[in-house]
Structure 1
């Protein structure tokens, strides 16, 4: 490839995916100065992220769901920021996997199915305890302001299905969403996120995650294709109780005629959530402030067991292995890929954990949950502390624990989104691009791009369309780049705006690149409905500065 007016520098952006890249990034980027091989540099970029929210829909979760939905904009703002521009999918399921005390008809166990329907279409889900608890206004009507037309899910493709159809998740990929024009993901989540309060009170968030991710790999499921092969995976649990992911072979632990060793009181007519705590956690130290409370596998008689099939609650190893295998598969394509896990649960607002029996000071809570509150909200709403969910979260993303008792989840959602941000690295050009037109405010970088598509060969990639003043044109439908012609499927942008010389955000180079001293950042954009080709590699060459020490003094 030849470049006008100076030394050619080659930037290789490659992606090797099972069925398509899905973003302008998510690619190993190799920067090399020809012909010296020792000048090769490599970084890994990943802009695709699949996010699964597992939301507690039991009777105590009305205010918490309202809080999550109302503050969700903070999460989206991070994902859509200029230096992130994530290509994201958001799936939602509940903690309801059913129980003999939660018969079908009294609840609607999702068992990992993704839920994507407006809360206004299921207001009955927001009424609990024979109408004594009604949060339909608090957790839905006061938050969701969109009608059915504004929430109609648009047909999309996946890596595994070339037939467009509505999918049970929200997505924004290459600036295009699967919701109607004019509807933001934030506003849509305010309607889709609240799950109601009539779900089973024996919450199984870990099993719900397990089933949701298993379904996403099953071609017979509606959620098939939710997980992209090379995308980051983030799992966010939102619950105010302990995990009760029980092995249904041992459902007798909930039955009055079964072994009641885990019951708060064997004389009770029905079990409380204390069964979940007692069946999966042991504490040591002074009960008024335990030294620690840790997960333990117990058999039906309450004795510790090393046989997973004898454990009444599924061992944590079941869930760690599942995410570990998914992470390993992703790392086979991209060595930097990983799984992110977060919990909004019974954690103190400062992130600390409290484990204590409350006994006579709050006998009802002790009886119902087997332990005292891990935190208490401003209206007195209390949450059980996590033990199994704490250890599971720490297995993948240490200390990514946030308080469900907080008055505002903005901080928690920003922190979780920042974990995703930290794994998304822009495609900075690690050589100093030459300004070929000093008379303009922006650096006028001259670059050429080719893409090698396996099975099809090499094609030239045109530059995305610029407007009359030289800024990148904006597609009004997506807010993203414009293909130079209707026949083009992909175009590139060489972003160079550091100080806001242009009013166009599409020109802005990511702060990450600026901090490294780079003056050019590459973006690939695909036309609506076009999936990036599997295994494609893209090579970009730019004219470089003859005086890099002057033009890019901070570039290392």
Structure 2
């Protein structure tokens, strides 16, 4: 979008008026002179949305069937990071990983160690025994760890980092890249690091509690007594990604009798069996209607120990969905106090078909073993290229579906696919949409009409969280030379204007094609230019000096006298 400067537009307007005067004698009704409304203010302070902080929690199913799926996740993780690190996004991200294991009396044998929402930050090679399931019947050591993890301990060293809630630098149980500074060695690639840190093994509890793991992880991150304290930043975009092939079994431990031999076995596939199966999880939290071979719908419901439906939350044997929806809503509301447009992002790679919809149907006649094990037929199926005799199958994720659809509709993806590149890319794109450029949403005055480019006059201030007007700091513009903004040769980022500056701002005035100047450092984004704004800000920070959560940036610029001429269609 080429910009015609105000002086040029005024000339064009004058020419039009002269032309209409010449032909006025031919008109029955002379044209009414154009009346322009002058701006009522000379300048205006606007809060800039410059937040690129993203906190991402992966909840990974670590039960016995998840070896190949964890390998696929790790091998496709580059698609996720590529979006976060692309030049138009440059997210300051933290990535934490926990498992679906919250324990169960049938899993308390010393074989599993329930994470219960604790973040895991260690090499899979240091946990290689976790990749063997059922006394060696299934061994995913190579496919999910040894074949994909190529880094040694030195390359995976977790370096100290300082959080917003703790001034003491210490190693933290998450991966991060903030303003170009990582908490792993600079020479270690984040994608390669995740191939070692992401896989969680396959000896976790088979009664997966994906929702409760998320709940506990987010609660722990807010408790000063926890190792993950500080993972959540007040202003950061929050994203939660579930990776699982089974239904949620986040049960209220006050009702653990639903799993016990001498308890109420109303949810068991076979009440005479020696032990329960995962069918308890489905039967205790889901109700379906329609033809059992292809149900019209299956929905999350509260059931009590006797199987009665639609009971009060307090009587529900599986924690009610209100517990998890309420937690996410609360966090979202806190973030919207800082940015009204910010939304929590949820994503799922689970038992849905390639078109992102689950299938619900009993398979008791065709596959009684699957029906007995899970209480329902597969939500998706695919040929297993490594073992054609054992197809890839996953249980439809009703409770997880309800949570994801509540906050990020249509962000479910199939775990039965041979690759997760598209799924991870789509989830990352949902995060990208929350990271918007800092457009100045008023029409800025051009202070030098003799040049082609806009020459704005602005002051930028940085306000620390909780501070008053007296605490605001006036920021310096990033370093310029005769050719324009000076960019660091290695990072490509803007150079600080002085040794005592840890942050600076750049004024972006060209359209995305670089129209007006040859300086690549002042090109606006498609987002701001497409809305017909004529100025965008870019905030750069010195590596190792991130903004404190809750920091606000505001800009005050001189406004154009006649916005409808200088910025036609602004905001559109």
TM range, normalised to the smaller chain? 0.7 to 0.9
Tell me whether 71-80 or 383-392 shows the greater mean CA deviation: 71-80
Retained in 2: the 8 A contact 1:75–1:417? yes
Instruction: Pick from 513, 524, 530 the counterpart of residue 499 of structure 1.
Output: 513
Q: SS at the partner of 1:524?
A: strand
- What residue in structure 1 maps to residue 439 of structure 2? 428
Q: SS at the partner of 2:293?
A: coil
2:346 is aligned with 1:341: yes
Retained in 2: the 8 A contact 1:57–1:197? yes
Change (3 A) 1:555 1:321: closer
Retained in 1: the 8 A contact 2:56–2:94? yes
Q: SS at the partner of 2:543?
A: coil
Aligned residues: 524
Q: Deviation of residue 80 (structure 1)?
A: 2.1
- What residue in structure 1 maps to residue 67 of structure 2? 62
Rounded to whole Å, the distance in 1 between the matches of 2:461 and 2:47 is: 18
Q: Deviation of residue 210 (structure 1)?
A: 0.7
- What residue in structure 1 maps to residue 307 of structure 2? 302
- What residue in structure 2 maps to residue 486 of structure 1? 499
- What residue in structure 1 maps to residue 528 of structure 2? 513
User: Counterparts in 2 of 1:119-268, with a 5 A limit?
Assistant: 119-268=124-273
Change (3 A) 1:34 1:184: farther
2:121 is aligned with 1:108: no
2:383 is aligned with 1:370: no
Change (3 A) 1:517 1:126: same
Change (3 A) 1:506 1:66: farther
Tell me whether 446-455 or 205-214 shows the greater mean CA deviation: 446-455
Change (3 A) 1:329 1:439: closer
Encode CA deviations 1:243-278: one digit per residue, 9 max, x unaligned: 000111111211222221111111211111111111
- What residue in structure 2 maps to residue 26 of structure 1? none
Q: SS at the partner of 1:415?
A: helix
Rounded to whole Å, the distance in 1 between the matches of 2:361 and 2:549 is: 53
Q: Deviation of residue 505 (structure 1)?
A: 7.1
Change (3 A) 1:480 1:126: farther
Tell me whether 274-283 or 517-526 shows the greater mean CA deviation: 517-526
2:473 is aligned with 1:459: yes
* TM-score, normalised with respect to structure 1: 0.86
Rounded to whole Å, the distance in 2 between the matches of 1:549 and 1:197 is: 63
Q: Deviation of residue 473 (structure 1)?
A: 2.2
Encode CA deviations 1:291-346: one digit per residue, 9 max, x unaligned: 11111111112222523232211111111111111122222332222211111110
Superposed CA RMSD: 3.0
Encode CA deviations 1:107-144: one digit per residue, 9 max, x unaligned: 12100001111212211111112122122221122222
Rounded to whole Å, the distance in 2 between the matches of 1:273 and 1:522 is: 53
Q: Deviation of residue 475 (structure 1)?
A: 6.9
Where do 5+ consecutive residues of structure 1 fail to align? 1-5, 8-32
Retained in 2: the 8 A contact 1:46–1:423? no
Q: Deviation of residue 518 (structure 1)?
A: 3.6
Instruction: Pick from 451, 474, 479 the counterpart of residue 488 of structure 2.
Output: 474
Rounded to whole Å, the distance in 2 between the matches of 1:305 and 1:550 is: 61
Rounded to whole Å, the distance in 1 between the matches of 2:483 and 2:228 is: 44
2:427 is aligned with 1:416: yes
Change (3 A) 1:435 1:384: farther
2:460 is aligned with 1:449: yes
Change (3 A) 1:320 1:505: farther
Rounded to whole Å, the distance in 2 between the matches of 1:468 and 1:146 is: 45
Retained in 1: the 8 A contact 2:251–2:318? yes
Change (3 A) 1:62 1:53: same
Rounded to whole Å, the distance in 1 between the matches of 2:522 and 2:135 is: 56
Tell me whether 57-66 or 304-313 shows the greater mean CA deviation: 304-313
Change (3 A) 1:264 1:426: same
* Larger CA Rg, structure 1 vs 2: 2
Retained in 1: the 8 A contact 2:50–2:553? no
* TM-score, normalised with respect to structure 2: 0.84
Retained in 2: the 8 A contact 1:451–1:458? yes
Q: Deviation of residue 60 (structure 1)?
A: 0.6
Rounded to whole Å, the distance in 2 between the matches of 1:40 and 1:158 is: 30
- What residue in structure 2 maps to residue 28 of structure 1? none
Change (3 A) 1:398 1:111: same
Q: SS at the partner of 1:237?
A: strand
Where do 5+ consecutive residues of structure 2 fail to align? 1-5, 8-37, 385-390
User: Counterparts in 2 of 1:15-26, with a 5 A limit?
Assistant: none
Change (3 A) 1:290 1:484: same
- What residue in structure 2 maps to residue 11 of structure 1? none
Q: Deviation of residue 177 (structure 1)?
A: 2.0
